[in-house]
Structure 1
Amino acid sequence: MNRRRLRPDEEELWRKVTDKTERLHPEKPFHPDDFVTTPPQQQRTRASFEVTPAPIKSQKYKPSTSINLSPSIVDQVAAQPVQMDRKAFTQMKRGKLKPEGKLDLHGMTTDRAHPALTRFILSAQSQGKRLVLVVTGKGKNRDDDGPIPVRFGVLRHQVPQWLSMPPLSSVVMQVSQANVRHGGGGAYYVYLRRNR
């Protein structure tokens, strides 16, 4: 098998590696060409190509804190189509409609918050209420950066998902982030369907 010759920078790197190691078989002669596996230029097929990486010295490494490709919960809630009366929706977003009930989930774990939310929404709908406020809080920064990433404001992210799943999905007509006078980013307006 024909093999290509090492470039000078590759040879230098290989020599640095071999200088720091001991040979398993010192009796065998050493040739740097014995360790190259790329075929020569003339034997390459049309589909193959060679990519030469940029020198490491020219690359600037900037550590990133985290990369989240999914849209934020605020964007997801805002992107939902309006299913209620447009005029009432506008008034609700401006904080002009007063919520008929309020559930505060501050300090609860997800295990306690999910059943409490389900009870509250189903109870409010059975009482004929149309607009309720669910306060989740904005979440707090965690001091420990462990190996497993934890979302900022767990309940804030979970509540819209819970509201879109059965049994609540059949009761909830619209979910929207609350106006600043009712909690802003730490609360949601939940507009309920009429009880039939």
Structure 2
Amino acid sequence: MAITFKTVAESEVTISELMLPSHTNFSGKIHGGYILSLLDQIAFACASKHSGAYCVTASVDTVDFLMPIEVGELVTMKASINFAGNSSMIVGIRVEAENIQTGAVKHCNSSYFTMVAKDDNGKNVNVPGLIIRSEKELHRIHKSIKRMELRKERQAHASTVHLTTSTADISKKYKIKIDLIA
């Protein structure tokens, strides 16, 4: 079967939504959980558009809330495929909030979702490769590969962790009191 390819632009998705009082947390700012829900939706749309298949969220790698979002701001999310593997894709999402009265725009969040394409029986399906047409897209590919390598390193390290730091060192260095019950 021939490998197919798509440009990054062919799968880009942008959504905008006005933030309402019903989206707020107890401090009056837009609830992070609400933004996460929107992020998952746009990641699904972008990955499904690229793959032509139903997609599921495999992991969320990095969700940095940089600035609070206020009621009445227009939130715009821009998603693109940053990397395509066999059946998985890394979707990069940028979140901006615009004060619609002043026009001021702020970068509020950057996130990276790994999405996996599935068939009707829940089996992984191959996704198209990526055609890179700009330095920016090439930079995103390199960053995605680096994040994948770091994740594999963390996973390998987590499975081989040994208690090499003494209990006294932990108690001095961190805000931890160790009081083991036998």
Tell me the TM-score range normalised by the shorter chain: under 0.3
The structure with more radius of gyration: 1
Structure with the bigger percentage of helix: 1
Q: What is the TM-score when the length of structure 2 is the normalising length?
A: 0.24
Q: What is the TM-score when the length of structure 1 is the normalising length?
A: 0.22
